[in-house]
């Protein structure tokens, strides 16, 4: 079984920063990509960022470009999300996800990711 465990969420004022971490454990799996999604109350889960593990290429959703940075530590099988210049609209539960089978592109669809963490709350106050 593959487990993804997020950490680093919390409450921050607008303009502040947070760094999320996601550690993978359990059985070995073919890690094509790892990404972050978020879900605000009453809204659908939406793509935030993803990184192709082997070539370190990343993709970002437009609302977070130039504010968020996804990175990975290959040795520790951990993916990070550095979030700067946070806005109240960034408030959501943030989920880590892992894609095992390549779809040929960096997928933004939740259904393309096979494994999920339990989520970590990020709250940005105005």
DSSP H helix total and E strand total for the chain = 0, 11
C-alpha 36/C-alpha 56 separation (Å) is 15
Concatenating the DSSP letter of every residue in 28-76 gives ----SEEEEEEE-TTS--EEEEEEETTTTEEEE-GGGTTTEEEEEETTT
For 47-101, the pLDDT digits (tens) are: 999 999 888 999 999 999 999 999 999 777 899 999 999 999 999 999 999 999 8
Asked if pLDDT for residue 29 goes beyond 90, the answer is no
The per-residue pLDDT for 103 is: 78
Asked if pLDDT for residue 126 goes beyond 90, the answer is yes
C-alpha 106/C-alpha 15 separation (Å) is 29
C-alpha 59/C-alpha 107 separation (Å) is 9
From the list 75, 80, 73, the residue with the least C-alpha distance to 20 is: 80
Helix (H, G, I), strand (E, B) or coil at 110: helix
pLDDT-derived band at 40, boundaries 50, 70, 90: very high
C-alpha 87/C-alpha 12 separation (Å) is 9
């Amino acid at each position: 079984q593959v487990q993804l465990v997020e950490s680093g969420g919390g409450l921050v004022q607008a303009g502040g920063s947070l760094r999320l971490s996601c550690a993978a454990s359990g059985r070995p799996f073919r890690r094509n990509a790892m990404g972050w999604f978020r879900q605000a109350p009453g809204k659908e889960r939406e793509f935030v960022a993803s990184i192709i593990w082997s070539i370190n290429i990343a993709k970002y959703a437009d609302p977070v470009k130039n504010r968020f940075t996804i990175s990975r530590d290959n040795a520790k099988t951990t993916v990070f999300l550095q979030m700067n210049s946070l806005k109240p609209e960034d408030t959501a539960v943030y989920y880590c996800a892992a894609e095992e089978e390549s779809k040929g592109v960096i997928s933004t669809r939740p259904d393309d990711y096979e494994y999920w963490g339990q989520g970590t709350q990020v709250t940005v106050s105005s």
